[in-house]
Amino acid sequence: MNSQQLAGQILAKVKQINLQLSELQNCLATQEKLQTKLHIASLKGRRRGLLEVLQLLNESWKDTDSLLNPYQNLGETSEKQLQNNQPAMNWCKERLNALNSKWKIK
């Protein structure tokens, strides 16, 4: 193998590593947004904040059918919204924990 081929292989590896780092940075940025919004929603009990978290989670897992959010919205009536609020929050926390475990974020 000559030096030109070796340089080409090294450049390809560097590009691959840079792509993986970029993907990880995007995931971490999404995680930070989700955790902040979930924290605000849980502290203030704001339905709007929870809906934003649900929307972000849906967007981040739209390619994976098994992780689709069962709480696409919180319900049409106020009774249904109250009934779905805690399960939706729990679902968000489970998804965040799954991502944290996947990327080993503490």
78 phi/psi in degrees, rounded to 5? -65, -35
Q: How many CB atoms lie within 10 A of CB 34?
A: 19
Convert the pLDDT of each residue in 2-42 to its tens digit.
Answer: 878 877 787 888 888 878 777 777 777 777 777 777 766 66
Convert the pLDDT of each residue in 47-97 to its tens digit.
Answer: 556 666 666 766 665 555 455 556 665 566 667 666 667 777 777 777 777
Q: Among 47, 53, 105, which residue's Cα sits nearest to residue 76?
A: 47
